[in-house]
Structure 1
Amino acid sequence: MYAKCGSIEDSWRVFSRMPTRDSVAWNALISGYVKYMYVKCKSLEEAWRVFNRMPTRNVVSWNAMILGHVKCGYGRKALELSQQMQQEGVEPNTLTFVGVLNACASLAALEEGRHLHQQIIQSGCESDVLVGNSLVDMYAKCGSIEDAWRVFNRMSSPNVVAWNAMILGFLKSGQGQKSLELFQQMEQKGVEPDPVTFVGVLNACASVSALEEGRRIHQQIIQSGLESAVFVGSSLLDMYAKCGSIQDAQKVFNKMPMHDVVTWTAMLKGYAMHGLGKEALRHFEQMSQADVEMDQVTFISLLSACTHAGLVDEGLCYFESMGSVYGVPATVEHYACIVDLLGRAGHLQEAEDFISTMSCEPAASVWVALLGACRIHHNMEMGERIAKQLVELDPGNVASYVLLSNIYAAAGKWDLSANVQRQRLEKGMKKQPGPTWIEVNNEIHTFVVDDQDHPQMVEIHAELKRLSGQMKDAGYVPVTKLVLHDVEEEEKLFQSCHHSEKLAIAYGLISTPPYTPLRIFKNLRICGDCHTFTKFIANVVKREIIVRDANCFHHFQDGHCSCRDYW
């Protein structure tokens, strides 16, 4: 009783007065020490002293030590203890298997997990609910979603823990849509979601930009009374920000009774994503006044906000104050933010000089940021030099080849551009496709450049053709110099008309009521012509069009973009 209530001193006093002590007494004491040491200082020294003094050790004693090491983050030691226990002739039970599976999950030790799975099958424990949950979780965290799915499907009646493990597993493997489908199946089966479920599916909504599904889940959270939970609220506002509704994110933040550093930073990151630099700086000052302890993620979000809004002086000032004022050491990610900040603003030489002053070795992300700035500002000479450094530093980084090829193409150096692309292909490096997607009636529709697969492609092209006359009258002229191929002008016009962003916008216009906002998402930087096109079309159709590209959100309305053509 004393041990479980956290009073290890009282537990020890009772134990020391006992004239005889059996294994139950020893196990109670050792379990108490494991719990106490983990909560207080994550040291298991006292637990080891008691464990080593035990005259006999049974499975309960070993389990206490195994689980204690797993909880304290010593997964490898937990695996060693499991092996030692069996060498001493003690048979593992379901709790042992749960502890060791958790250790494998923490270490991403897939092969050891598979070996343990065979042992569990031989012991007849696979059907145990706790073991089944831990198996699904282990496989999912080790990146083998197929094995996790097989174990899950063999469970006679998976509980919420198993469903959560599968939802988070699919999310981790980049299958956010599958996570949402699984959540719907879970609802149909009548399994009650818990806070972990809601956090998982909100993150899945954010990953695939499923705003309407996120709103539906928000209503469920309100009905379940979990809206005020800090970590649920943080996931909610993060979902709204990543799905393009910064106003809803602000509402969630303002309604939360309490905020921690994660919540404050999530809102700050939201402002950064939407290019709201001034709002981000105001939010950061409020955060400072609230005496919230900043962390490294906070400053990455703050510096990103300055970058997207072109606030160079402010960004440099905050970078300088990180260590001196807030006690947060700069990492390579912060240095990359400053290089990006300077580079986007056109201070290319200053950005390169800044890299030479870094206190740590520049990572590939730092050079990629500078190379991207060279592309924006058409600095071919520096771009060539930076690309060569990047290839030497990280030969497998496809971004260096793609960016350098684009720099050459934009300068009309087609032979050099083709040569870089040929080198990339010879090394077996594939350029990731640039899809664009839109959510309509809770369904995600995906497009790629010159797409012909969508069932309504005829209507989409007809809508683009219908709008082209109005766009021309409004003054839109396609920016064909941004088509990065050496082809005739007519072909350039054709290519620019079939960019995935334009196809998605046209589909949104024919599939949603007039005057409602459109939310478009893509995984690459929006090209200059599509950016100009969207400004004109938003004005012509009198709609707000929100586009999220690889850099930030663009809010197009009345012929203007929130990024002020700075992205």
Structure 2
Amino acid sequence: MLRTEIKPDNFTYACIIRACSESFYLEGLKLVHCGVTVSGLGLDSICSSALVTAYSKLGLVDEASWQLFSEMRSMEMMPDGYTIVGLLSGLSDSSLITTGQGLHGLCLKCNLDSNAHPDLVTWSALITGYSQSGDCGKALFFFKDLNMEGKKADSILIASVLAAVAQIGNVGPGCEIHAYVLRHGLESHVMISSALIVMYSKCSFLGMGTHVFEIMPEKNIISYNSLILGLGLHGLASEAFRVFDEILRNGLKPDEYTFTALLGACCHAGLVKDGREIFRIMKD
């Protein structure tokens, strides 16, 4: 058909898309998708529905989500904060964001910038997305904007911002966030306290991180892992092993992050023999 003057329409492409998905022919599906776009049918409802179904069947949920989002915009449907969160959770680390319009540009196109009074969900999408994509400065900027708007961040959002601070190794903003946590009575949240331990450790304030751990009213494997990671980063392998023994005494089950932190401690301290022992424990 393509070698003739007859042009395939939306029904033609929908049939070919379905054939690709049913035979799990991904490369063919991508080629057909290109053909759909070049033909100006990329936002056609029949083609879009076929593409969403095909990508979903092949397990490519991110591509299906992006196709649905594009169709929403073509129908002039205004996505809300929940739509953006769902999209960014799958796309924040992908080339669609890093080589495309960017996180902020995406939200600006959806009229979700700061002038549009975004809700907490939208703020979370921006801050978490910037943190995950490595733009920690923007994550901190929007966290301050959120505070100026008088909105209260939840534990997940605060942990995400603390992770951003840990990446840049600047303890100043981390102390400000710690003060925010204390003002709002959030220090009892295990997720927040664990993030504080990692932040202080990576910013070379291990003593503060250890203090946060010691005053935690409740500890779980995540908080123990955070402390082991911090001790290992500072070459205190013997202390890291002491904490590991405490995990076992308290009946907690080590996970892959526990062993990763312990092996890192062995690496920093040059403890080959102890590293082999940890590997043996992992296998057992």
TM-score, scaled to structure 1 = 0.37
Q: What's the counterpart of residue 140 of structure 1?
A: 92
Q: What amino acid sits opposite 2:220 in the alignment?
A: D
Distance 1:275 1:219 in 2: 28
Is the contact between residue 266 and residue 275 of structure 2 (CA under 8 Å) also seen in structure 1?
Answer: yes
**Aligned counterpart in structure 1 of residue 106 of structure 2, from 138, 143, 151:** 151
Relative to structure 1, the CA distance from residue 133 to residue 316 in structure 2 (aligned partners, 3 Å threshold; closer, same or farther) is closer
Q: What amino acid sits opposite 2:62 in the alignment?
A: A
**Aligned counterpart in structure 2 of residue 189 of structure 1, from 143, 149, 152:** 149
After superposition, where does 1:43-192 map in structure 2 within 5 Å? 109-110=62-63, 112-143=64-95, 144=97, 146-153=101-108, 154-155=111-112, 156-192=116-152
Equivalent position SS for 1:256: coil
- Greater percentage in helix: 2
Is the contact between residue 160 and residue 191 of structure 1 (CA under 8 Å) also seen in structure 2?
Answer: yes
Distance 1:295 1:134 in 2: 28
- The number of equivalent residue pairs is 224
2:252 is the counterpart of 1:299: no
Cα distance, 1:240 vs structure 2: 0.7
- Greater percentage in strand: 1
Cα distance, 1:121 vs structure 2: 2.2
Q: What's the counterpart of residue 277 of structure 1?
A: 237
Cα distance, 1:261 vs structure 2: 1.2
Q: What's the counterpart of residue 198 of structure 1?
A: 158
Q: What amino acid sits opposite 2:205 in the alignment?
A: S
Cα distance, 1:252 vs structure 2: 0.7
Q: 1:177-233 CA deviation, whole Å, 9 max, x = no partner?
A: 221122122222333222122011100100001101101100111111111111111
2:183 is the counterpart of 1:218: no
Is the contact between residue 125 and residue 131 of structure 1 (CA under 8 Å) also seen in structure 2?
Answer: no
Is the contact between residue 137 and residue 148 of structure 1 (CA under 8 Å) also seen in structure 2?
Answer: no
Cα distance, 1:109 vs structure 2: 2.2
Distance 2:185 2:280 in 1: 43
Equivalent position SS for 1:240: helix
Relative to structure 1, the CA distance from residue 136 to residue 286 in structure 2 (aligned partners, 3 Å threshold; closer, same or farther) is closer
Is the contact between residue 103 and residue 130 of structure 2 (CA under 8 Å) also seen in structure 1?
Answer: no
Select the structure of larger CA radius of gyration.
1
Cα distance, 1:281 vs structure 2: 1.4
Equivalent position SS for 2:92: helix
Relative to structure 1, the CA distance from residue 138 to residue 297 in structure 2 (aligned partners, 3 Å threshold; closer, same or farther) is closer
Equivalent position SS for 2:151: coil
Relative to structure 1, the CA distance from residue 170 to residue 202 in structure 2 (aligned partners, 3 Å threshold; closer, same or farther) is same
Distance 1:138 1:227 in 2: 30
Distance 1:141 1:107 in 2: 15
Cα distance, 1:172 vs structure 2: 1.6
**Aligned counterpart in structure 1 of residue 187 of structure 2, from 224, 227, 239:** 227
After superposition, where does 1:248-287 map in structure 2 within 5 Å? 248-287=208-247
Q: 1:340-390 CA deviation, whole Å, 9 max, x = no partner?
A: xxxxxxxxxxxxxxxxxxxxxxxxxxxxxxxxxxxxxxxxxxxxxxxxxxx
After superposition, where does 1:361-380 map in structure 2 within 5 Å? none
Distance 2:209 2:117 in 1: 36
TM-score, scaled to structure 2 = 0.71
Structure 1 unaligned blocks of 5 or more: 1-85, 92-96, 325-567
**Aligned counterpart in structure 2 of residue 240 of structure 1, from 200, 206, 217:** 200
Relative to structure 1, the CA distance from residue 259 to residue 125 in structure 2 (aligned partners, 3 Å threshold; closer, same or farther) is same
Relative to structure 1, the CA distance from residue 292 to residue 147 in structure 2 (aligned partners, 3 Å threshold; closer, same or farther) is same
Cα distance, 1:315 vs structure 2: 2.6
Q: 1:138-187 CA deviation, whole Å, 9 max, x = no partner?
A: 54354515343223221232111111111111122211122112212222
Equivalent position SS for 1:281: helix
Q: Which structure is higher in RCO with an 8 Å CA cutoff and minimum separation 6?
A: 2
Structure 2 unaligned blocks of 5 or more: 1-44
Distance 1:198 1:121 in 2: 31
Q: What amino acid sits opposite 1:300 in the alignment?
A: T
Residue identity (%): 28
Is the contact between residue 135 and residue 148 of structure 1 (CA under 8 Å) also seen in structure 2?
Answer: no
Q: What amino acid sits opposite 1:152 in the alignment?
A: C
Relative to structure 1, the CA distance from residue 299 to residue 128 in structure 2 (aligned partners, 3 Å threshold; closer, same or farther) is closer
After superposition, where does 1:345-494 map in structure 2 within 5 Å? none
Q: What's the counterpart of residue 275 of structure 2?
A: 315
Relative to structure 1, the CA distance from residue 302 to residue 181 in structure 2 (aligned partners, 3 Å threshold; closer, same or farther) is same
Regions of 4+ moved over 6 Å: none
Equivalent position SS for 1:244: coil
